[in-house]
Homo-oligomer: A and B are copies of this chain.
Amino acid sequence: MLEQLKEDVFQANLDLPKHGLVKYTWGNASAYDSESGLFVIKPSGVDYSTMKASDMVVVDLDGNVVEGELNPSSDTATHAVLYKHYPEMGGIVHTHSTWATIWAQAGLDVPAMGTTHADTFYGSVPCARFLTQEEIDRGYETETGNVIIETFEKRGLDIFAIPGILLQGHAPFTWGEDVQSAVMNSVVLEEVAKVNLFSRELNRFAEELPQRILDKHYLRKHGENAYYGQKQ
């Protein structure tokens, strides 16, 4: 069942430590199959050195395990809420990567300060608020997904123009058309989090990127007039 997707999700999870985003089993990647309405996610707390593609767990949009021997990631409910609300998401990644987590702990949006950012994120990456006690009691992981949705809706953001978010005091989530692009977006977010922090250390008046450069770089890689890569 969804064997190719299991393989993709397995590889994406292995890519997280390769890119230095994850230590031990901190972090999880999933991919959604819009046809069946099911998604595949890594099992909870399984050592990456022994984990196999067949250990991936198949889950429905209410977070129920449909296939798999192991418990799915403890963050499964967050993934489920996001896929249910945004069925166009093909993959989601959660890590505690160092520099993105630093911005999350600082409680700050990551501003668009350079073209590395603009090539992937069309504006600031938002930092979502802490959950309330009531939300925690109701269901921490489900409400984490809801707070992500709330943040994007309140700010009127497009999930593909800004394919990631920080959760205050916690860490980032990113997503994409598929799980590979969700991983890449985590790599980019980690890099710009580092670069932007030190740009402001070096020059506290370092500016955000002018809108014209942000437009140019984002649009040369995304949308109908994109001319980066080998497509078309």
The reply on A123 being an interface residue by CB < 8 A is no
Q: Which residue of B114, B184, B212 is within 8 Å of A171 (Cβ)?
A: B114
The reply on A191 being an interface residue by CB < 8 A is yes
Question: Please, what's the 1-or-0 string for A87-130, where 1 marks a CB less than 8 Å from any CB in chain B?
Answer: 00000000010110111111110000111100100000000001
Tell me, rounded to whole Å, the shortest Cβ–Cβ distance linking A56 to chain B. 14
| Contact size range, A | 35 or more
- Decide: A197 and B187 in contact? CB cutoff 8 A: no
The reply on A43 being an interface residue by CB < 8 A is yes
Of all chain B residues, the one with the shortest Cβ separation from A70 is: B230
Stretch at the interface among A2-10, A148-156, A157-165, A200-208: A200-208
> Which residues of A from 18 to 32 have beta carbons under 8 Å from B?
19, 23-24, 26
The reply on A198 being an interface residue by CB < 8 A is yes
Question: Please, what's the 1-or-0 string for A69-81, where 1 marks a CB less than 8 Å from any CB in chain B?
Answer: 0110010000000
Sample of 9 further A-B pairs with CB below 8 A, known A102-B198, A200-B202: A70-B230, A74-B229, A96-B116, A98-B195, A99-B198, A105-B114, A106-B203, A113-B169, A131-B212
